[in-house]
Amino acid sequence: MPVRLTREPGALPGIGIVHLGLGAFFRAHGAVFTQEAMAASGGDWGILGISLQSPTIRDQLAPQAGLYTALELAPTGPKARLVDVVQKVLVAPEDPEAVLAAMAAPGVRIVSLTVTEKGYCHEPATGRLNLEHPGIAHDLVNDLPRTSIGFLVRGLQRRFAAGLAPFTVMTCDNLPHNGQLLRGLVLDFAGRLDKGLAAWIAEQGRFPCTMVDRIVPATTEADRERVAALTGFEDASPVVHEPFRQWVIEDAFVGGLRPDWGRVGAEMVVDVAPYEFMKLRMLNGTHSSLAYLGYLAGHETIADCLADDVFRAFVRHLWAAEIIPALTPPPGVRLADYASALETRYENPGIRHRTWQIAMDGSQKLPQRILGTLAENLKAGRPCPGLMLAVAAWAQYVSGKGLDGKPIDVRDPLAATLAQAANAADPITALLAMTQVFPPELAPQLATGLQAARNELLTKGARGAIQALT
């Protein structure tokens, strides 16, 4: 019978990283890189995880002293490894003071984030801080914050008052120019508290851009049972992931202090932009396109989509005809080869990445994953019927009803507003009027194409509309 994971007695490295949003992705990606970097080059880079909402991850990891299993799911079979770099998890709503105290500790040199697009409390269409967000409104007038932006600024404020150097703020979320975006949000918030604080952050702070890539589906009970069978240990919170991983990091850290990630495979670069646009548009853009159309066609996972020849032809069309022409490749990268590698990753039968999971929070994802590519294609006069069809599928999805009339459990911070617009007499016009999602200068250019795509979707169904297009 499996026994519960426990940490062997012994000295632990010091806490060097506080991570906001200790979800499955970071534990399967950044934490693994950090563990390997310490094994290769040493350093006090232990991780303190922060849950900004639920106590679930703390309650799962605390009895295991932060230990968990990372299960690699390859076509050739599973492979398990023990990850021991996370030492403790705090739940921010329970004790925000403890979180701020941890961020202000002199040994902490990096605060990193994976809080998903909606966790930045910004307007995706403009990139500006959403001052009407209830969490931001609360954090501007209260010393103990609720949001990721609030915690970052209040943590930096404590270091400023104590005469310490700022920590490097490193976002690992899928947002264009993510470090620059986060810097703007932090400075906007800080400037409303204290102009001197904002000036100090602007001068001494560092916000490196990053690009992260690894497919990490939600852990299931079957995954926990597989881990127990493989390892002999009962793990309440394993993570599962594909073999592939990539981490591209702008090498800009306060005092140059960071783990030796480059030694274990991370790419330390001057400019992340070509990599992030390649990944956001080629991987995330097609993931979202497959998620909405695949869900409406009855496909549960991305692998199921790729097993359907019509959907496989569709994603190949998106890459070749609509996405790659709007991209500048990173140095030494052939985008056609990257697309081929993505196709192989998507069809991995061991990875059951649900279309419903990828479809979450679409209002926050669409601008950077699909709308940016659409805008560049329209400017260049290139037709983009596949991406138009993907946005039309999103419009149907957020109505809360499938093409068969069955209800959809829509998870999105704008779910109620989206449902109202998507069920209007003219849903495309109503949705395009939502400036939180669609830039006002782009919306009129999309109207005709989206109306046509919606008509195709309603008359032919998701699979039929794709088949007609390809």
Would you say the C-alpha torsion 369, 375, 380, 381 has a positive or negative sign? Answer: positive
- As a whole number of Å, the end-to-end CA separation of the chain is 52
Alpha-carbon distance of 177 to 277, in angstroms, equals 9
Q: What angle do CA 299, 247, 103 make, to 5 degrees?
A: 105
Q: What is the DSSP letter of 438?
A: S
Report the mean per-residue pLDDT for the chain.
96
Query: How would CATH label the architecture of 273-469?
Result: Orthogonal Bundle (1.10)
Section 288-303 average pLDDT: 97
Alpha-carbon distance of 393 to 362, in angstroms, equals 11
Q: What is the DSSP letter of 354?
A: B
Alpha-carbon distance of 199 to 185, in angstroms, equals 14
Parallel, antiparallel or unpaired: strands 239-241 and 168-171: unpaired
Q: What percent of the chain has pLDDT over 70?
A: 100
CB atoms within 10 A of CB 414: 20
pLDDT at 3: 85
Identity of residue 454 = R
Q: What SS3 class is residue 417?
A: helix
Residue 88's pLDDT band, with cuts at 50, 70 and 90, is very high
List beta partners, residue 19: 49, 112
Domain 7-269 sits in CATH at 3.40.50.720
Encoding tokens for residue 308?
């359907």
Section 68-79 average pLDDT: 93
Parallel, antiparallel or unpaired: strands 77-83 and 128-129: unpaired
pLDDT at 470: 86
Residue 350 predicted with pLDDT over 90: no
pLDDT at 249: 98
Q: What SS3 class is residue 430?
A: helix
Residue 63's pLDDT band, with cuts at 50, 70 and 90, is very high
Residue 24 predicted with pLDDT over 90: yes
pLDDT at 316: 98
445-450 — which CB contacts under 8 Å span 24+ positions?
Answer: 445/375, 445/378, 446/374, 446/378, 446/388, 446/391, 449/384, 449/385, 449/388, 450/388, 450/391, 450/392, 450/395
Residue 299 predicted with pLDDT over 80: yes
pLDDT at 4: 82
Residue 2's pLDDT band, with cuts at 50, 70 and 90, is confident
pLDDT at 8: 81
pLDDT at 5: 86
pLDDT digits (tens, 9 = 90+) for 169-217: 999 999 989 999 999 999 999 999 999 999 999 999 999 999 999 999 9
The structural domains of the chain, with segments of one domain joined by +, span 7-269, 273-469
Residue 1 predicted with pLDDT over 80: no
Alpha-carbon distance of 32 to 322, in angstroms, equals 34
pLDDT digits (tens, 9 = 90+) for 430-451: 999 999 999 999 999 999 999 9
